[in-house]
Amino acid sequence: MIQFQYEGSKVPVYSWTNAIEATAREQIEHLSKLPFAYHHIAIMPDCHSGYGMPIGGVLAADHAVVPNAVGVDIGCGMVAVKTTLQNITADQIKRIIGKARDIIPVGFNHHKKQQESPVFASVPDVEIIHIELESARHQIGTLGSGNHFVEIQKGDDGFIWLMIHSGSRNIGKKVCDHYNQRAIDLNARWNVTVPAKWELAYFPVDIPEAQEYLAAMEFCLRFAKANRSLMMKRLKEIVFEVAGGSQQSKEICTHHNYAAWEVHYGKKVLVHRKGAIRMFEGDVGIIPGSMGTPSYIVEGLGNPEAFMSASHGAGRKMSRAEADKTISEEQANKAMNGIVYGRWSRDRKGRLDVSECPLAYKDIEEVIQQELDLIKPLVKLQPLGVLKG
């Protein structure tokens, strides 16, 4: 861990990497100067720039909440299941992915019919949630786009695993955008000391807007978890129909975009994890690699210096635009050698999109090595087949 402090900052920075791009460094500096930042800022080894706050950042806020420090995909995270299968063929994987594509909408596609889920039995009395509710009933059980994926993996424990990465779909974005704009408006009215250009508008936690946001965020967390569980339920049905076997373990679930009340260094604070997972001692979590690289099931060590957190994945080493400019189709295909996957997509002008290939991401092995004081690797998972959003 590297410790440093910016001139004029309120708190120091504890970082588990020194490979931080300039934009992310600037965002970290802004975090360290927030008047409500508590004790220190923690930066995970997968750090890269985001909106306002870098991905792979952990902010402990003293009675304040920052919508942009959670992000637009509230509750984005992982679910993984260990099966009894020990072998699976490439042909079976192709059939599974083909069937999964038919019942799990990807990209901007939604279900044509409303989907049933227990998550809709308890909805907070928050206007933006009710506005988006009908659409959400069509979106639950859908993958989304970007770096979201369905993956079939072989663990070094000898078993086949299933993994899904997805979030709260459009409802999470709507909640973030709505309350971030509300915070911007209120901060301008109050003449706060946090510059608007930092994109870190906030609410004191005791005002109605903060309570509304937190209630909406909690619903988005439940929605995101239910979304992944519904997809996993349908994926398991396909896998066990095609390849046999059954489920061997409980679902392992991990959020990596959220805020939660926790006690750290003797004080109750609102911990914002944006692209970071909670790793209290004994917690079992998931740290995925990029498309085509290994993922890890890990156990938390409860390191207080990281606010008991760890990385949420490998982390980007280049932007999507840079990846599309610098990575050829041949290079992208070579990086996916031996893995069942679909063809790279193209835009309307025929330009190749390889922005999610492994070459655009940091080395997951290096990331894991940098945080061995935060987590204990339990199972290493090699990808066999992947369905991308």
- As annotated, the active-site residues are 312
d(CA 302, CA 304): 6
Strand intervals (E) in 288-344: 295-300, 309-311
Report the 10 Å Cβ neighbour count for 53: 28
How far apart (Å, rounded) are the C-alpha atoms in residues 290 and 332?
12
Q: Is 257 helix (H, G, I), strand (E, B) or coil?
A: strand
Rounded to whole angstroms, how far apart are CA atoms 389 and 111? Answer: 15
User: DSSP class of residue 361?
Assistant: B
The DSSP output letter for 356 is T
Name residues whose C-beta falls within 8 Å of residue 18's C-beta, 6 or more positions apart in sequence.
Answer: 2
* Ramachandran assignment for 314, one of left (phi > 0), alpha (psi -120 to 50 degrees), beta (any other): alpha
Distance (Å, whole) CA 269 – CA 107? 36
